[in-house]
Amino acid sequence: MAGKATKDMTSGSPMKLILGFLVPMLFGLLFQQFYSMMDTIIVGKYLGVQALASVGSTGSINFMIIGFCMGICSGFAIPVAQKFGEKNDTALRRYVANSAYLAAGFAAVMTVAVCLLCRNILVLMKTPEDIMGGAYAYIFVIFLGIPVTYLYNMLSGIIRSMGDSTTPLYFLLISSVLNVALDLFTIVVLGMGVSGAAWATVISQAVSGVLCLLYMKKKFTILKMEKDEMKPDLNAMKTLCNMGIPMGLQYSITAIGSVVIQTAVNTLGSVAVASVTAGSKVSMFFCCPFDAMGATMATYGGQNMGARRLDRIGQGMRDCILLGAIYAAGAFMILYLFSDTIALLFVDAKETEILANARRFLLTNSAMYFPLALVNIVRFMIQGLGFSKLAIVAGVCEMAARSLVGFCLVPVFGYAGACLANPAAWIAADLFLIPAYFHVIRRLQKMMPGAVSPGEERQAETLGNLKGKRQKSFHALG
């Protein structure tokens, strides 16, 4: 028995299921971004523009390393979702156990490696000398927290893979409040500077991870393992790595382009760095719905793949793309009208140049939010269907586009060129992902000839309805 905490996404209205999963997931991501934003707001307001630039200058390297951790964990959750849809509880538990072993190994190796190398990386990124100390103090602590990053993302991914996107929301709400309190305590009371903001983030995420673990042990009877299911299994580890490593690499390869852009922006000085930091933080908050759509498609695709319900995949894609288009239009209108006001959360009104730059960044990016919606929806659906290696190619497309902007446009057009990096990356990824999706569907139709194909379920439902109507008519005549 799966238990009430889980949700089967292999039957019922796709739109209703997508919204039911997406909305709690969205609130969770918003709270996650909220406490990330609070770091930036409190740093900017209490420690000044230079400290804000210090934190901002680490954004791309942070995304490259932490993104790899998140990608690995997202990949580990896909076989769990597939086995849940297949109703193969024994294999599901085996994948969960081996995910834990792999996550612990990856966390140990990565923590040691990146903590030793992070100063050298900041130097290679041409981090301005006046913010180097603050940048190192912040990112070193964040990297020390890699084990708790794995803990939370792996456990919340497993919870979501079984259809429960609500519970991680509650835990993130608790950690968000805790993060804000710790930010103020470490920065204002203890005077720890930017490292205090980093410690607040790490401790808050650790609390979320522990809460996920306690919840899973208490509520998910499906995860109660026999001794044999807990043994290390090389075949299960191979499958998990085949899913997780490509997704982790996709994040990291994408982030290489961001590192190139960050390096180019760093050459423009601290004001440009602070401007991109403020604009990026606002944009990341507005992009949370696209991340939620992607995570929803990964679980939806994984469960329906396991259940061999190919007919539901295209319908779910269309419904989610419609949601993405509606939200993209609304987000652009909000940022067009209120971007100046929102940017004031991060800097004082006297910083007119930073405010103007942040507005330019936000409008350029939000005008292309629909291509971003497609990137997330299509890529995560492909990953949920088990073709995660294609995500690497999409990441290469994004990296190439951002690198081209960083090497060619920023030196010529300065800050205006940097604003074009994300839109160029999203369009480049879509040019690969959309044909790749149709290729994947054709492959699956050949691999699973016995699966329900598009149109068959609708035909069966129509025949069933007609039969029901005939029976009612017969009884009425009788």
State the pLDDT at residue 476. 42
Distance of CA 457 to the CA centre of its chain: 32
Indicate the average pLDDT of the chain.
Answer: 82
The residue among 81 and 436 whose pLDDT is bigger is 436
Does the CA dihedral 237-240-244-246 come out positive or negative?
positive
Question: Looking at residues 248-259, what average pLDDT do you find?
Answer: 76
Does the pLDDT of residue 333 top 50, yes or no? yes
Q: What does the pLDDT look like over 452-466, one tens digit per residue?
A: 544 444 444 443 444
By the 8 A CB rule, do 368 and 426 touch? yes
State the pLDDT at residue 454. 43
By the 8 A CB rule, do 312 and 384 touch? no
State the pLDDT at residue 42. 80
Does the pLDDT of residue 132 top 90, yes or no? no
The residue among 41 and 142 whose pLDDT is bigger is 142
C-alpha–C-alpha distance, residues 266 and 272, integer Å: 7
Question: Looking at residues 208-236, what average pLDDT do you find?
Answer: 84
The confidence band for 92, taking pLDDT boundaries of 50, 70 and 90, is confident
State the pLDDT at residue 285. 81
pLDDT above 90 as % of the chain: 20
Does the pLDDT of residue 10 top 80, yes or no? no
Q: What six digits make up the tokens of 221?
A: 């009877």
Using DSSP's 3-state secondary structure scheme, residue 309 falls into strand
Q: List helix spans (H) across 350-420.
A: 352-366, 369-384, 389-404, 410-413, 415-418
The residue among 61 and 450 whose pLDDT is bigger is 61
| Least confident range of 104-118, 187-201, 244-258 | 244-258
Contacts of 457 (CB under 8 A, 6+ apart): 309, 311, 312
Does the pLDDT of residue 314 top 50, yes or no? yes
Question: Looking at residues 348-377, what average pLDDT do you find?
Answer: 88
State the pLDDT at residue 459. 43
Using only C-alpha atoms, the chain has a radius of gyration, in whole angstroms, of 23
Does the CA dihedral 139-144-147-148 come out positive or negative?
negative
The confidence band for 261, taking pLDDT boundaries of 50, 70 and 90, is confident
Domain boundaries defined on the chain: 14-447
C-alpha–C-alpha distance, residues 418 and 272, integer Å: 10
Q: What does the pLDDT look like over 180-191, one tens digit per residue?
A: 889 889 988 888
C-alpha–C-alpha distance, residues 208 and 185, integer Å: 19
Left (φ > 0), alpha (ψ -120 to 50) or beta: where does 386 sit? left
Q: What does the pLDDT look like over 407-441, one tens digit per residue?
A: 888 888 888 888 898 999 999 999 999 999 999 98
pTM for the predicted model, two decimal places: 0.69
Q: What does the pLDDT look like over 38-64, one tens digit per residue?
A: 667 788 778 877 787 788 778 778 878
Indicate the helix (H) or strand (E) that contains 174. helix 167-184
State the pLDDT at residue 383. 84
State the pLDDT at residue 291. 86
Does the CA dihedral 132-415-33-289 come out positive or negative?
negative
Does the pLDDT of residue 166 top 50, yes or no? yes
State the pLDDT at residue 8. 67
State the pLDDT at residue 451. 58
State the pLDDT at residue 130. 80
Closest CA to 353 of 262, 275, 278: 275
